[in-house]
């Protein structure tokens, strides 16, 4: 069951692009924007992550942290982050456990039988980890409404 507004966000422990273990609890205490993206180095994911990078000052002024999660390996996330000069952590959900808990998976992603990827989604959590905004796309090519995300953080 995907998360919806009012749900408590499930805790997680995932490694970042430097293989450092990161937990949901370290982001709480302020608002948190969690982005799930299907795959590093794909066109829509690159555009989404760069848009969020360019908005990080706005999110910071709203006392919000940003973190992105994909099923990619830490090394792929590291190269993706470096190539796009991303200024927020990218976490690796290589077991897909967290992606399933939050938004679900695209099955047979990119037409490859058996390959799964995190559904493109955005969750805005309040300082206590309660979901205040949820957007989950069935279409991996769709981008979130960035103004809607900013408004949810500002609310």
CB count within 10 Å of CB 53 equals 16
Nearest to 38 by CA among 29, 26, 51, 47: 47
CA dist 91 → 5, 35, 143 (Å) = 23, 10, 19
Active site residue 45: yes
Of 28, 35, 45, 98, which residue is the catalytic one?
45
Nearest to 106 by CA among 91, 84, 89, 121: 121
Active site residues: 45
């Amino acid at each position: 069951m995907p998360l919806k507004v009012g749900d408590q966000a499930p805790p997680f422990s995932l490694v970042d692009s430097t293989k450092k273990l990161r937990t949901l609890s370290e982001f709480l205490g302020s608002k948190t924007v969690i982005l799930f993206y299907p795959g590093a180095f794909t066109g829509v994911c690159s555009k989404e992550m760069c848009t969020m990078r360019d908005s990080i000052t706005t999110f910071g002024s709203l006392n919000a942290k940003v973190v992105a999660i994909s099923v990619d390996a830490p090394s792929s996330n590291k190269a993706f982050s470096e190539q796009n000069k991303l200024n927020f952590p990218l976490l690796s959900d290589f077991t897909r456990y967290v992606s399933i808990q939050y938004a679900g998976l695209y099955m047979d992603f990119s037409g490859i039988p058996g390959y799964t990827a995190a559904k493109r989604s955005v969750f805005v959590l309040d300082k206590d980890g309660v979901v205040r905004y949820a957007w989950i796309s069935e279409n991996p090519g769709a981008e979130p409404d960035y103004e809607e995300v900013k408004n949810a953080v500002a609310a």
